[in-house]
Structure 1
Amino acid sequence: MAPGPYDVITMGRIGVDLYPLRTGVPLDEVDGFARFLGGSAANVAVAAARLGLRTAVVTRTGADPFGRYLHTQLREFGVDDRWVSPVERYQTPITFCELFPPDDFPLYFYRRPKAPDLEIHPHELDLDAIRAARVFWMTGTGLCAEPSRTATLTALRERARRDVTVFDLDWRPMFWDDDPREAYAAALRHATVAVGNLDECETAVGERDPHAAARALLAAGPELAVVKQGPAGVLAVHRDGTTAEAPPVPVDVVNGLGAGDAFGGALCHGLLAGLPLERTVRAANAAGAIVASRLACSSAMPYADEVTRVAEGGTIPPERAPAPASGPSAPGDAR
């Protein structure tokens, strides 16, 4: 029997993360790195898969060994890679970071002359699958260049605000050669959920105050605005008047770079499970905190029982070896 629609389809950035094996050391002094799957769209798909959701990602890699590595990683994490295709003329992107906990993690993106994930063309999209997915998650990076911008907006228009259609604001100024506001406004008109930190909200709607930013995001189109405030926690506001605020989870930060993607995967889970908004953002906060306590992004994504434990006030568990991927399963019970 053929499986039904995907729980989550993400679209956007993928690459290889190379992280130092020592913290507090600048890149010119680092003598060892660990390699991981990276990129926001790919990481959110992995995070959702860890919570039991059936996920896939729409993206592109180089036709090179790193591209093959990313395919292997996606499959091992239980993410469907059928819409991940190679681009002959561009190399798979590499991202380096420096680790200066608790809050300084400079990133160095190697995506020139162009990243293959920006070569997604509208005619390549499986629009039937995108329309049918319970969640479609796209990112601001996918809007920064053509043909990815047109492809992303095409996917959003085809969704026609179905179910959960998430715009992850994902503002990376180094990727843009023009003003993002028009593209962001176009995406917000088609999204039902907008997620971003204060810098990203200011870029999208010109507001940094959390409540003002939430109101401006809702006015631009979405039904739900989720504003991440770092040490001040998270504010979520629904058009129906429901508001939820969740405090941050105390954590000894190792690497904060994957926390937002873990948050995204848990947000998808909570929205699909129909959990109350406050419970959803608390679980998302817990997922982010767990990943911030670990070195990696993708391989550090938490399992449902870990999210439940931390969301209910328990301690952050040590990282455990991933279970062998046996295909996507029914949604877990992250609370």
Structure 2
Amino acid sequence: MTEPYDLITMGRIGVDIYPLQTGVPLSQVDTFGKFLGGSATNVAVAAARLGRTTAVISRTGADPFGDYVHQALKEFGVDDRWVTSVAQYPTPVTFCEIFPPDHFPLYFYRLPKAPDLEIHPGELDLEAVRSARIFWMTGTGLCEEPSRTATLTALQARDRAGITVFDLDWRPMFWEKGARTDPAVARTSYAQALRHATVAVGNLDECEVATGVREPHACARALLDAGVELAVVKQGPKGVLAVHRDGTTAEVPPVRVDVVNGLGAGDAFGGSLCHGLLAGWELERLMRYANAAGALVASRLACSSAMPTESEVEDLLARG
């Protein structure tokens, strides 16, 4: 590679096994589709769909689902050179139920341990991480060793160079029992990561885990105080709030669509956020664009394969 990647993401990867029927519990589903999954992976796919050069740092099992992950990444134009296998753990699979417009239970199969939590600090290509225009990491990457130390090592290597995005990504079922029952236990790790990030993105639950407060503007202020330059607080049906350290604020409503499956919307938002940050867009345009990308995926069944192109996002915005 002669040029730095536009985006390197680090975190979850796996296979989504989603029902091809909506409004039906898993016990009654007859047909399923197989899709590339994992939030950090989907963000890389979303940005690649928008023309960005992307790569993922993660690990799979040494199994057929791991082979599928590599095949899918290549088909989406995402570099898979840092996706390696772990012999002792299977590639994770995730099932969901689809009850539009707002009920999408997830069932994670990541036991005895997910390979993407077996990323070791010594395996990282720190030069590539350091030179990427955007580096994206997640809260799940902090939930267990050695992934926690590897994630913090990557952040320290960046030393706030370029744009470093912390996807707050709170999944309590992945953490040790103490953090599951008391999210404040995870706050120390979140605080360490926030000191090295320039952008923080999360919904109200995730912001509360990171900061201890829940009111959107208070969340944004707390994230800025923790060290980031831009705080993005997703408020569900109330839209999204973004506050920059320079005082610029944007609060935009969601784009209304007929929701089919809301699970990939946040990842589409993330990939589009990276696209707009790289383009240097002003804050309100950036939030409107990312919202529209998320809405398009929410109107579709899958996650990775549903990520929109630039023309699709622009068309939706043009329709108002």
Counterpart position of 2:261: 255
Question: Which amino acid is 1:37 matched to?
Answer: L
- Which has the larger displacement, 257-266 or 175-184? 175-184
Counterpart CA distance in 2 for 1:113 and 1:218 is 37
Q: CA RMSD in A?
A: 0.7
Report whether the alignment pairs 1:223 with 2:222.
no
Question: Which amino acid is 2:293 matched to?
Answer: A
Following superposition, the deviation at residue 163 of structure 1 comes to 1.2
Following superposition, the deviation at residue 203 of structure 1 comes to 0.6
Report whether the alignment pairs 1:128 with 2:127.
yes
Which residue of 186, 198, 202 maps to 1:180?
186
TM, length-normalised to structure 2: 0.97
Mapping of 1:161-180 within 5 angstroms? Answer: 161-177=160-176, 178=179, 179-180=185-186
- Which has the larger displacement, 173-182 or 11-20? 173-182
Report whether the alignment pairs 1:198 with 2:197.
no
Tell me the secondary structure at the aligned position of residue 302 of structure 1. coil
Following superposition, the deviation at residue 309 of structure 1 comes to 1.6
Mapping of 1:9-88 within 5 angstroms? Answer: 9-88=8-87
Following superposition, the deviation at residue 242 of structure 1 comes to 0.4
Counterpart position of 1:312: 318
Report whether the alignment pairs 1:140 with 2:115.
no
Tell me the secondary structure at the aligned position of residue 4 of structure 2. coil
Counterpart position of 2:287: 281
Following superposition, the deviation at residue 83 of structure 1 comes to 0.1
Following superposition, the deviation at residue 148 of structure 1 comes to 0.3
Counterpart position of 1:89: 88
Counterpart position of 1:324: none
Counterpart CA distance in 2 for 1:27 and 1:230 is 25
Tell me the secondary structure at the aligned position of residue 195 of structure 2. helix
Counterpart CA distance in 1 for 2:213 and 2:260 is 30
Question: Which amino acid is 1:4 matched to?
Answer: E
Following superposition, the deviation at residue 308 of structure 1 comes to 1.3
Mapping of 1:228-239 within 5 angstroms? Answer: 228-239=234-245
* 5+ residue gaps, structure 2: 180-184
Note the alpha carbon deviations across 1:145-171, whole angstroms, 9 max, x for none.
000000000000010011110000000
Question: Which amino acid is 1:237 matched to?
Answer: V
Counterpart position of 2:182: none
Tell me the secondary structure at the aligned position of residue 82 of structure 1. strand
Counterpart CA distance in 2 for 1:309 and 1:184 is 37
Question: Which amino acid is 2:86 matched to?
Answer: V
How many residue pairs get aligned? The number is 313
TM, length-normalised to structure 1: 0.93
Following superposition, the deviation at residue 68 of structure 1 comes to 0.3
Counterpart position of 2:149: 150
Counterpart position of 1:296: 302
Tell me the secondary structure at the aligned position of residue 45 of structure 1. helix
Counterpart CA distance in 2 for 1:92 and 1:299 is 19
* 5+ residue gaps, structure 1: 315-335
Note the alpha carbon deviations across 1:261-315, whole angstroms, 9 max, x for none.
000000000000001110001000000000000000000000011111222335x
Counterpart position of 2:213: 207
Question: Which amino acid is 1:68 matched to?
Answer: D
Counterpart CA distance in 2 for 1:222 and 1:312 is 32
Counterpart position of 1:333: none
